[in-house]
Every structure is written in structure tokens, then in C-alpha cells.
Structure 1
Amino acid sequence: MINVSQPSLGDEELAAVQEVFAGNWLGYGPRSEAFEERFARYLGVEPGHVLFLNSATSGLFLATELLGLGPGDEVVLPSAGFVANANAVVATGARPVFCDVDPRTMNPSVADVERVMTPRTKAVMLLHYGGLPGDIAATAALCRDRGVALIEDAACSVASSVDGRMCGTFGDIAVWSFDSRKIITTGDGGMLHVRDPELARRAHRLAYHGIAERSAFTTAAQGTDRWWGLDVEYVGRRLIGNDLTAAIGQVQLSRLPAFVARRAELTTLYDEALAGLDGVRLPPRPPVDHRSTHYFYWVQLPEDRRDRVAKSLLARGVYTTFRYMPLHRVPLYGPPVDLPGTDEAWATTLLLPLHQALSDGEARTVAREFIAAVGECGA
């Protein structure tokens, strides 16, 4: 079976893990801090504003907590997103308000966002679908004008940028995912960026039980009596990453340019192989000043054919899928609303295999089998 996604791990990552074993310290420590600093430099932000977490989902929940969201507040987010986005909002007692997306890009326009904002809107949570940057600059400007916080879910956008500025640095808070399916992986893990210095300070404490920086882990070296005492500032949880996974992350980050370049090559291969296929729409190309990570490669077919083509491909040894189920159709989040662009995308879109370990031969097999499945399923 040719998979939609899979990690790329090798001897360098294994050697990094062996070094951690040899050092006999697996928890959050010097390698986690080094990973944070290196990622901050990569983004072009201050290191103290970046925190390595155990998942991007933890970062989303932490973001809503940092913003003090609660009952009576509303958060605007695209329905074409992962359940973690809505869950992070609902957990605070706030209400998710879903906006529509362009059915081709799967990203909302600034007009889509503004259309559903109300005086109760306290935040906007924006996803860059499949690594394709959305209308982020205009949305960030809208949020500033309205005094509304902007959370960027850059889980799939670790190398995405607009006019040279990295996605995840436009908003007030951002998260990236390093789970096993992402372009760079730490197995599980994520990174958080908080623009405001005081909120960044609080994030570091909330992510480790609410304990202040000057605690048992630093006071012993300073000769303080009873250094085992803890200074607990907030009611926090344990959300931090660890040195074992951070060691993998540092290696993966160094390989990121090659990973993205390879995914771009595969995107071009698919574009050329599938060009002109009757009844099939290929992914939209990003504007000149937008850089994509090419996390997803999506094709779109008429609704009455999409599912049949997917089943045919599965029988041919090619796994396909679609992410994400429209959140406005999940009963947990409230009654359904009318979002035609999202519904069209849900009914017509299919993700083909795309990852940097995919060979040219495998990609050509996917293209060949897709063309055959489309022909088999008729017009």
C-alpha cells in the first residue's frame, strides 16, 4: 500500500537519540532548549517566546487559556479544520463560530472571517490548509483593527511563508505540529510561539504545572537552603516536550529544506502527469509571494465519482483520504450552518499520497492508477 504520508527518519536521528541515552537525561533539558532556540532563529523570533510542547493540540488548548476565553466569548475558525481547533475553544466554555472557505484552496478569505464576526468575537483561529498559506496578512490586519486575538494553527505549515514572512508569526499565538505524519516529526510534539512577552512568560509556567522559573531545578546550584521548595504561580499542567524527542527534532529541522524541495518535485510530477484529465481539478497554485510546504496534494472530482474513485484506488494499493470533516457538521459543536464552500470541498476532494520518502516510481504509479480509476468510474 502506498501511504498518504509517512515520516523520514534515518541514522542521524538514531545517533541523536543514542546521545541522549548516553547522557542519561530524557526529560525537558538542554536539548529541548536548544531545539526551541534553533526553531526561534528559523522563524526569526525571540527564543524566549517559543516553547517545545508534547503536541500542537496542547498548544491550542494553552493558547485559549492564555487568552482567557470563557462563556459568552466567540472564536471564529474555518469549518475545514481539525477537531482539536474546536475542542480547544469548547473546553473554555467559549463558542466556536465557523466560517466558510474557498472550496479550491480550503482556506477562508478575510471576507469569510469578517462575515461571521460579532461584538462577542474574542479571537480568530486560522488554519493554513495543507501548508498553503491563507489570507493571513489581511486577516491579521482585520484582527488588529477589531482588537481581536489571532491564533495561527500552522501545524502543516512549518515551511510556509508569505512575502518572506513565516506563517505562524503573523498572529498573537501560533502552534506547529511534529506528530508522526508531519513533514518534520518528533514522534509526537509541537511548538508554541507567543508574541506578547508577559503571555510568553506565563505560557512557560502553565506548561509545567504553573511552577515559576526559580524553583527546585535552579535554586540548588545557587546555594539556596531547602532548594526542593516550589514556587507555584498558576494552576498548570504538564505540557512540555523532552530531550529525547527534541534531539530528533533538531535533526529533522536541519533536513527540512530538502524535505520541502522533494515535496515540491513530487507536486510538479503529479501536476504534469494529471494535467488535462477530464473532470478532475488539480490543486490551485499559490500566489508568487506565497510559499507552501506542499503538505497535501488534493484533487477534486464530481461528488458522485469521488468515493468510487477512492475505493477503486484502495483496491489498487493506493491509500487516499480527505481531511478534514467539516466541523460545522459535528453535532457536539452546535447545530449545522450553511457553509457551501466547505460542503463542496468535503464532497469532492481527495488527498493523494505525498511525502518526501515517496519515490518517482511510486508517484507515477499513483498517477497511473488514479487515471485508471477515474476512467473506470465513468464520466
Structure 2
Amino acid sequence: MTDARIAAVVVELGEEEREAALGVLTSGKLVQGEQVAAFESEFSEALVAGAECIAVNSGTSALHLGLIAAGIGPGDEVIVPSFTFAASANSVVMAGATPVFADIDPASFGLDPVSVEKAITPRTRAVMPVHLYGHPADMTALNTVAENHGLVVVEDACQSHGALLDGRPVGSLGDVAAFSFYATKNMTTGEGGMVVCRDPEVARRVRLLRNQGMERRYENEVAGLNNRMTEVAAAIGRIQLTRLPAWNARRREIAAAYDAGLTTVVAPPVAEGVEPVYHQYTVRSSERDRLLEVLAAANIDAAVYYPTPTHRLPSYGDPVLLPETDRAAAEVLSLPIRPGLTDAEVDRVIATCNSLGGSRG
């Protein structure tokens, strides 16, 4: 008899989310109303130390509007990691600027400050650290580089809801930040995003840009977009936000079990002062492809995030040399870590990985 499948992703939606969505549908008020305003306020207080928040329709929109509102546009360069989802670089292109790829620090999978420094040119206007897999980038060093060169810091926090660096939440560590509420994230609204702004004027520009350039109806101040969040999405997000602390705690429990039990792979690094939220539990293995086959044969979902670095995608084709990025892309593998996993399923993942034999590496 084949063991039951261990899924990597199961969208956690319960009766409260369904009731919240139905309440909005019953009200007939579907766009940019009380639910969105309440979600913005509650997200601000819960996750970003009271910073101003603007809800939008996706994490990519949050990055895009954040860049434009911060003054980034044609002729500008933004330094980004290549080892992440393409949306980070895509948002720079959509803002009219040019992404410049820098390498990662293998201790965090985040941007390497030394590589960032080397990538700066007279056209560089911003740097976009990505808090990959739920682990904060080295914001202390990256903010120092940015300050020394007069750069805007745009945090891509799309995978890191609730992660902390030296007790401070991601999303509050730069000038602008973006979160995603896509279905696979630590909390979801189905689709959705949040822009977090330090400067009230930047926040005002984001509000204009998400709503066709208007704060007041038919008084279009700038050429804007339709990037609003729906009331249904916000209502779901408000419930999910209350569940997030327990879900993140369970992800940390699972990560601790993996750390203690896995013997044939390199566990994900955790930098000093970091409290990660394990959007992914990403190991490294010199036998990654064989391990994928072993897990698949045992009916366990696993995935590679990301098999092709952004700078090597057909949409970019940048010849820049990023050795740590290329090495990570060849070695990483993410194991199931959703909060609904049982202890028995966690044990089964560990045993299956360890069946590969050998030692960590």
C-alpha cells in the first residue's frame, strides 16, 4: 500500500474566512471599503511596527507601486538578487528602471552587501533586498551601503510575514516594503499585496497610483493604475492575520525537528539575531536531483525554488557572473513545512531524506 501523499502546499481556509467573505458579498460593498481600511490598520499594528500600509491586488503590484512612488523610473538602476522569483526584477522593469543583478550571501540566501557595493554605478538609485524563504536579508549591512551611496531601500518581504531581525520586523527596515498574500504564502487573501512606507508622502503616492491617480473621485492627480484590493480579499486577510502567529510558530517547530533529524542534507542557515518564519524549509544537497526522485517515490512533495536564476532566464539573459547564485540554484530543495503537517508526516520526511545515505552535503 502506498503511503498517503504529503503535500507541500494546502491553502488554510476555514469557516471564519468563508463567513467573512460571505459577509462582504451580502453587503454589496466589494471594493476599497471598510474591510480594506481595517486590514491595512491591523496589518500595520501586527507586523510592521505601526508603519503606514496600503493594500493592493498582488505582491508584484506592491513592489511596482512602491518603486514608482519612491521616485524610481526610466534611467535608474535597481540592484536586485537573481536568486529569487522573477517578480522582483520584473517590478523594476515595469517601473521603467533597469535591474542590476548582484550575488547572494550563502549564510542567508539574501543579497551579499559586498556584491551590492561592487554593482553600484552612477545610475544606481535603489537596492531591493529579498527576505527569501522567510529569512531576513542582512539589512544592517545593506542599509549601511545604501546610506553611504544615497540609495532607496525597497524590501521584498513577500515571503516573510512576521520575520524578525534583531527584534525588528521585516517590512519596517527599509524605505518601502512589499508583502504578498498569494495562496502559497504564510497568510493569504487569495491574491493581494501590501505596500509599507516610511514616508507619508510616498504612501500618499502609492494610494494615488493604486486607484487611477485619485484620492477623490474624478480628481485624477497623476496617471495611475487599477491595483486595488477587493473587500473580499481584505476580509479573508483580516482572519488570516489572526492565525499567522500560531502558523509561524508551527513552522518553527517543524523546522526545529528537521534541523535535529536530517543527516544527509545541509539545513537552512539562520543568521545571528534572526527569527525566521520558514515560508520554505530549504536545504542544500550535492545530490539534490537524486533526493527529489527519492522523495517523489515516497509520495512526498518537494520543490526547487529557484532552478533558474533570474539573470539566466530568457527574459533577461544577463551574462553577469554570480557564482553563489548558480551554486544555490544547483543545490537547493524545499521540503514540506506547512503548519498542517502532523508530527508523523514530519518524521516520514526526515526518514525518507535520511534514506539517501551519506552525510550532510
Question: TM-score, normalised on structure 1?
Answer: 0.89
User: In the alignment, which residue of structure 2 is the partner of 1:171?
Assistant: 174
How far, CA to CA, are the matches of 1:5 and 1:101 in structure 2?
A: 26
User: In the alignment, which residue of structure 1 is the partner of 2:270?
Assistant: 285
Of 28, 31, 50, the match for 1:24: 28
Q: Is the 8 A contact 2:39 2:234 kept in 1?
A: yes
Is residue 295 from structure 1 mapped to residue 283 from structure 2 by the alignment?
no
Q: Report the secondary structure of 1:127's partner residue.
A: coil
1:1-379 paired onto structure 2 within 5 Å: 1-42=5-46, 43-46=48-51, 49-211=52-214, 213-215=215-217, 230-274=218-262, 277-278=263-264, 280-287=265-272, 289-302=273-286, 305-324=287-306, 325-372=308-355, 374-375=356-357
5+ unaligned residues in a row in structure 2: which ranges? none
User: In the alignment, which residue of structure 2 is the partner of 1:225?
Assistant: none
Q: Report the secondary structure of 1:51's partner residue.
A: strand
Q: Report the secondary structure of 2:44's partner residue.
A: helix
How far, CA to CA, are the matches of 1:121 and 1:191 in structure 2?
A: 25
**1:289-339 Cα shifts (integer Å, max 9, x gaps):** 21111111112111xx21121022112211111112311212322432111
Q: Is the 8 A contact 2:134 2:280 kept in 1?
A: yes
Q: Report the secondary structure of 1:159's partner residue.
A: coil
Q: Which amino acid aligns with 1:214?
A: R
Q: Which amino acid aligns with 2:49?
A: G
5+ unaligned residues in a row in structure 1: which ranges? 216-229
Shift of 1:183: 0.6
Q: Report the secondary structure of 2:234's partner residue.
A: helix
Q: Is the deviation greater in 247-256 or in 308-317?
A: 308-317
Q: Which amino acid aligns with 1:337?
A: V
Q: Is the deviation greater in 136-145 or in 239-248?
A: 136-145
Q: Is the 8 A contact 2:108 2:136 kept in 1?
A: no
Shift of 1:207: 0.2
How far, CA to CA, are the matches of 1:67 and 1:24 in structure 2?
A: 35
Change (3 A) 1:21 1:71: closer
Q: Is the 8 A contact 2:107 2:270 kept in 1?
A: no
How far, CA to CA, are the matches of 2:187 and 2:289 in structure 1?
A: 30
Q: Is the 8 A contact 1:51 1:192 kept in 2?
A: yes
Tell me the C-alpha RMSD between the 2 structures.
Answer: 1.8
How far, CA to CA, are the matches of 1:286 and 1:84 in structure 2?
A: 25
**1:235-259 Cα shifts (integer Å, max 9, x gaps):** 1111011111111111111111101
User: In the alignment, which residue of structure 2 is the partner of 1:223?
Assistant: none
Q: Is the deviation greater in 102-111 or in 359-368?
A: 102-111
How far, CA to CA, are the matches of 2:210 and 2:220 in structure 1?
A: 12
**1:24-71 Cα shifts (integer Å, max 9, x gaps):** 22222001100001111122224xx31111101011111222233334
Q: Report the secondary structure of 2:357's partner residue.
A: helix
**1:345-366 Cα shifts (integer Å, max 9, x gaps):** 0111111011111111111111
Change (3 A) 1:327 1:75: same
Q: Report the secondary structure of 1:98's partner residue.
A: strand
Q: Is the 8 A contact 1:103 1:344 kept in 2?
A: no
Q: Which amino acid aligns with 1:336?
A: P
How far, CA to CA, are the matches of 2:248 and 2:74 in structure 1?
A: 41
Shift of 1:231: 0.8
How far, CA to CA, are the matches of 1:104 and 1:146 in structure 2?
A: 24
How far, CA to CA, are the matches of 1:189 and 1:206 in structure 2?
A: 16
How far, CA to CA, are the matches of 2:285 and 2:274 in structure 1?
A: 26
Higher alpha-carbon Rg: 1
How far, CA to CA, are the matches of 1:22 and 1:39 in structure 2?
A: 24
Q: Is the 8 A contact 1:153 1:175 kept in 2?
A: yes
**1:274-300 Cα shifts (integer Å, max 9, x gaps):** 1xx24x21112332x211111111121
User: In the alignment, which residue of structure 2 is the partner of 1:221?
Assistant: none
How far, CA to CA, are the matches of 1:89 and 1:119 in structure 2?
A: 17
Shift of 1:142: 2.0
